[in-house]
Structure 1
């Protein structure tokens, strides 16, 4: 929380220590103090990271030992002049990457759907109410 002096193991503190560290009281903050803290610290939300770009997803599909074997086979077949075989290997690599990107996109959509279903809400004390 920026200015507050909270230890990493805050869960070990008792109630009075937490209230003192957060400069609050058991009845909650006054509306004006809550507004000031909102302006100073921002909304009480977890930051979201931007997802990987399409190119990053594509390149990530080639990070597998079996793909390295196919890439080596591609280089060897091109060096030997077997361009038809090289084309087949290249097509397999590209199709595999495309399928991986599509599956990854579907998984991300499913996770986003779950996040929307798990929308968290809470209640806060303001001015003692």
Structure 2
């Protein structure tokens, strides 16, 4: 069984080695002239105004974490919805439904907690 995966493993390993080889050759033979213009951040052809970095408010990270949380929820719910009919035909439809309800309830508790803590308020 695993012998059929050997060609795939060889191709993956050779691809990784080839990528590292190309990067190493570029670093070895490529030009290394640093000029002031090359060290400046690129901003759509415009001369930069102000510092290149600034602090990002924590609220953006909180929104990103909430987005990832509910994105992962969808990743689990869609395949479950696709195979729910098979669970019902096999006689374990109630188990599959209860399992997903518990999952969604846990996520909703987290959402209400974030809501009560003011994580969704934007000021």
Query: Scaled by the length of structure 1, what TM-score is found?
Result: 0.29
**Larger Rg: 1 or 2?**
1
Higher-RCO chain (CA-CA 8 Å, sequence separation at least 6): 1
More helix by share: 2
Query: Scaled by the length of structure 2, what TM-score is found?
Result: 0.30
